[in-house]
Structure formats: structure tokens, C-alpha cells
Amino acid sequence: MRHFVAYHNAEKMGYEYEPIGKYAFFSRKTLTFLERTVGSMVWVINGFRSKARNTIYTLCAVYMPDEVFDANEAAFDYIIAGTVGHDFDPPIELNHLPWFAGFLKPQSNFSLGISEIKDSTAIDYLNSLAKSPDLEHLTSTDEINFPLDLDILDVEALEGMTTYVSHLRRERNRAVTDAKKEQTIALHGQLVCEACGFGFSVFYGKLGEGYCEVHHKIPLAIA
């Protein structure tokens, strides 16, 4: 899995990064580059000037983008958005960590806005900061064992090779999804599956927040 760092410059943006339950990052990078973040991990770091004029860096969030779309703003070209992620509340200050100074230079002191993290050691350190149970399955690189449900013990097979997959994806207008969520809350008091009332946030915790799409077309009772 690829990892990227997205830097929020509070001085230039005019405000510090704040967790709002949604994950989005504005960028002027090329669309080709930004599309590489889809399905990857994006670590959001906020930087602000202290009274001593030194920059304080904090780890604010990590999320997995699922789309890149036009920003429709003069200052930025695109938005990298996702619904699966985790906010560090309170944010984790990074300046005092022994490995962080060595992380800054390869990332050009975050002057690139968003850039890929090539250092596997730095990725390990970032993963170690993400100790939330809601995030473990996103950051874990441990071997996954699947139950054996087929009698194929006499078959040797090699899996795990990287395969490039291309597929058509329809753009969704965020205004439509936001309006749908408001309608669902008005009808049900919370975001739930319209067919069965399944509460995604109740079952999945933070990772399920923000979902109201049906996960089947008719109620299971009459399926």
C-alpha cells in the first residue's frame, strides 16, 4: 500500500486543520499524480508558527481517499476526498519525536503540499502512532490468514502478485450526497440503511460514520 503525507499550512490557509468527520485535501498537483492516492493512506499534518516563530507540526488525521474531483476554486484545482479515516483528537505533536527531523528533509519540509512517503521506516513510525482499534485494519501489514473452506491441500498456488486494474468510475456530485444525508437524518434521526435500518456507525464505529447508502435493495425479512 502506498502512503502519502498531506501538509496543511495553517499560516497560508488562514486556519488550522480541525476534525469535522469528513476527509478532504485541496491540491494543485496534476490529476495523474493525485489519482495515485486513491486507495492509499494519506497522513494529514498541520503546521503552524509558534510565538517563538518555529513551526509546530502535528499529526491530525489519516484517511483513505476514494475519489479526486474538481475543486471549483481559484486557489486549487482538485480535492482528494475520502470517507474512511481517523482523526487524532487531540492531534499528536511531532517535533519532539526522534525520527521526525529525518522525515522532514526527504519530504522537502512539506513544501510540496502532498507527496509520497518512500521511507518505509517513517511509515512504520506513523503506523505506530495510529493505535486506534478503528484504524488497525487499515495500517496493519501483518500476514492475513483466511479459513480453509475448500479441500485443496494438495494444490500449490502462488498469490499476491501486483496486478494493474482499470475500471470505469462515475463521478458523484458531493452536493447530491450531502442532500441525501440530510434527508435521511430528517426521516430517521440518524444515518442508517434505508432498507433495513442498519446503523453503520453503531456497528463499525468511527469508520462507519457518514454512511446512509442501502447495502441491499429490499429488507432482508422479505428477501
pLDDT of residue 36: 86
Which triple of cell numbers denotes residue 10? 495553517
Domain-wise residue ranges, the chain: 3-139, 174-222
- E strand residue ranges, the chain: 3-9, 23-27, 41-49, 55-64, 67-70, 78-82, 84-93, 114-116
- Number of Cβ atoms within 10 Å of the Cβ of 199: 16
3-state secondary structure 81-129: EECEEEEEEEEEECCCCCCHHHHHCCCHHHCCCEEECCCHHHHHHHHHH
Instruction: Name the average pLDDT for the chain.
Output: 72
Query: Which has more pLDDT, 161 or 36?
Result: 36
pLDDT tens digits for 94-142? 888 999 888 888 887 787 778 888 888 889 889 888 864 444 444 444 4
pLDDT tens digits for 5-28? 888 876 676 656 666 667 888 887
Cα–Cα–Cα angle for 9, 23, 48, nearest 5°? 20
Which triple of cell numbers denotes residue 17? 486543520
Question: What's the CATH fold of domain 3-139?
Answer: ph1033 like fold (3.10.590)
- Number of Cβ atoms within 10 Å of the Cβ of 50: 9
Which triple of cell numbers denotes residue 31? 490529476
Task: Please give the model's pTM, rounded to 2 decimal places.
Answer: 0.55
Confidence of residue 207 (pLDDT cuts 50, 70, 90): low
Distance CA 73, CA 79 (A): 10
Percent of the chain residues topping a pLDDT of 70: 61
Residues whose CB is less than 8 angstroms from the CB of residue 215 and which lie 6 or more positions away in sequence, other chains included: 193, 195, 198
The answer to whether 212 touches 192, Cβ cutoff 8 Å, is: yes
Highest mean pLDDT among 63-67, 109-113, 216-220: 63-67
pLDDT of residue 203: 66
Q: Which residue reads 512539506 in cell numbers?
A: 110
